[in-house]
Amino acid sequence: MNDKDLEFFRKKLTEHRQKILQGQTLNNLEDLQIKSEDLAEEGDLATNAINQQITFSLRNKEMAKLRRIEAALARIEDGTYGECLESGEEISRKRLETQPWAEFCLEVAEEKEREQRQRRA
């Protein structure tokens, strides 16, 4: 990958990182708190618990994505960006354009998804 391509992907990754860091998912703490008035009603407490669960799930997804973005930026610095972490094959430009934090080539990613589905079943 040439320097121009690396700069293009560095910029995309940095923009995604900023979007996450400035976004509502990580910064909104309202759903994580239980207000004293919610304790009086069992239904309110249940709704609050569900909202907390959803918020935790979204925050976990955003944090995982943020970690993958940071790792991709590190790979740009060490010269391994665009290489599949498992097979060493080149990750297609099309895949990197849609998911610049991709760690695996399409074949490996699909195989990992199949394995994950089998484990859940």
pLDDT of residue 32: 53
CA distances from 42 to 29, 70, 113 (A): 22, 42, 39
Phi, psi of 99, rounded to the nearest 5 degrees? -140, 75
Q: What is the pLDDT of residues 19-54, one digit of tens each?
A: 998 886 655 555 555 555 555 555 666 776 787 788
Q: Three-state DSSP class for 53?
A: helix
> pTM of this prediction?
0.78
Is the separation of the CB atoms in 121 and 100 below 8 Å?
no
pLDDT of residue 30: 59
Q: Three-state DSSP class for 48?
A: helix
Higher pLDDT, 55 or 102: 102
Q: Domain segments of the chain: what residues? A: 1-80, 82-121
CA distances from 58 to 30, 61, 62 (A): 14, 5, 6
